[in-house]
A and B are shown apart, each in its own frame.
Chain A
């Protein structure tokens, strides 16, 4: 199965990776290990998963304003997602962090049906679209 979702480009670029999808917001400062990209927050459904080379799909970031530096640190440490999709709204922390770290960032457009996306899918961000391929 293969389909394509439309998004608003916040930070441009192309990216490819395994989809890591959650309906829970993320605090980039307190929820993960910035050296390895592992989610460490026991109260988060992605706890134990690694962000490295993924297409991270999440609603929006919460909490610390320093989370922008955390995104930049993930990239510097080679542990960041390849691309990020905000599914509900793009917050300032994620937008500014991705702008500095050069991580492609899309916000999903609201005028489309968004199917349930499985974590084992492959995602490609290209030119304002997210393509999903089930592998």
Chain B
């Protein structure tokens, strides 16, 4: 990858250590993705905010590099808990999580604590380059909003926030956005869970950066699209889906393929808590749920994870009241997947409709998961 004179100087440390480190990261990912050069990006979304995921090594790294300043608008992912609510997490968790939030604030991030920046902010227009870590957000940005990002890592997106640049490679180039592999859907998909299962299977099955589902997935609603994107990003390296057809290789998704995903992730028949929101729920899903639950009460504890600005809007519209009257606890700034609030110590099993959450709850939190779609959850666990 060719660097300009200024970029070479920055790599050599002329502008300080954090900026040199940022260029070192960009150089490595530029080599990895065969980039010719770096190009400007207009927005960055960062993962690596939850102490539960980045641990002490991450806290130390961020504290050390927090003297750097972000040069483009930068939103950040959820953290481990809702700072406006009481919880029983350790004082060490609070201390370390606080250091992370402080480091990002010092660098100039927008304190979004959300994995759905595309629903909360006026992002750059379609066709523009951005740098999005967080698997669902990267897939959504490319596939739904026409933005151009690679499936960035926490560190590569951090390097882009510090330099305002990213390699011109992979999904930032037209030819890669043209799918070379197609998933042929051989069964009826009805619920958001069905689309999550499709996404998880597809991520495992393709090694390309862009996959086609043909016209089968056009006109699906926001919940299904988010579920598909999150699961696709969780199981694979694929950063984009497209409805554009391709005559190249085809892989079939039918009942058998669906079963293989369910067998891996559905690890219990029921649970002691319902957890919704991975990705965090937006207004569309809160409205859907409030209509389903109006006048009923959850028979199990129910946690709903959403962005704070979404919660504030839902308070004004009265939706939050409906959900809270049904017994739900609405949690902001955090997300079902990898939140220490959904731990093995407290719960034997979690009921959720999120395939992404099911992956991390099973494999990282060590909690069994009962996968059901939203309507079935309300039907079985509310009256």
Contacts and interface: CB of A to CB of B under 8 A. Distances in A.
Nearest to B363: A30
A85 interface: no
Interface of A: 8-11, 25, 27, 29-31, 34, 40-41, 43, 59-70, 72-73, 75-77, 88-100, 105, 107
Contacts of B156: 68, 92, 95-96
Contact of B29 (A9, A29, A43, A96): A96
Interface of B: 21, 24-25, 27-29, 31-33, 47-48, 50, 53-58, 60-61, 133-135, 138, 150-157, 159, 203-204, 207, 233-237, 264, 338, 359-360, 363-364
19 contacts: A10-B28, A10-B31, A27-B363, A29-B338, A62-B204, A62-B235, A64-B53, A65-B47, A65-B138, A66-B47, A66-B50, A69-B61, A72-B57, A72-B155, A89-B32, A92-B153, A94-B32, A96-B28, A100-B25
Nearest to A77: B57
Contact of B54 (A8, A63, A69): A69
Given A40-B363, A60-B207, A69-B48, A99 B24 contact: yes
B58 A69 contact: yes
Given A62-B235, A93-B153, A76 B32 contact: no
Most-contacted residue by chain A among B133, B152, B154 (CB, 10 A): B154
A65 B154 CA distance: 5
A8 B233 CA distance: 26
B135 to A, nearest CB: 6
A59 B28 contact: no
Contact of A30 (B33, B48, B233, B360): B360
A97 to B, nearest CB: 7
Nearest to A60: B237
B173 to A, nearest CB: 15
A129 B57 CA distance: 30
B55 A43 contact: no
Contacts of A94: 32
A77 B203 CA distance: 30
A96 B157 CA distance: 10
Contact of A91 (B203, B237, B360): B237
A95 B134 CA distance: 16
Given A30-B359, A68-B48, A89-B32, 4 more contacts: A62-B203, A89-B237, A92-B33, A97-B153
A40 B362 CA distance: 11
B233 A96 contact: no
B153 A63 contact: no
Nearest to B360: A30
B234 A31 contact: no
A107 B153 CA distance: 18
A96 to B, nearest CB: 4
Contacts of A41: 363
A91 B169 CA distance: 12
Nearest to B53: A66
Contacts of A70: 53
A61 B156 CA distance: 14
A69 B135 contact: no
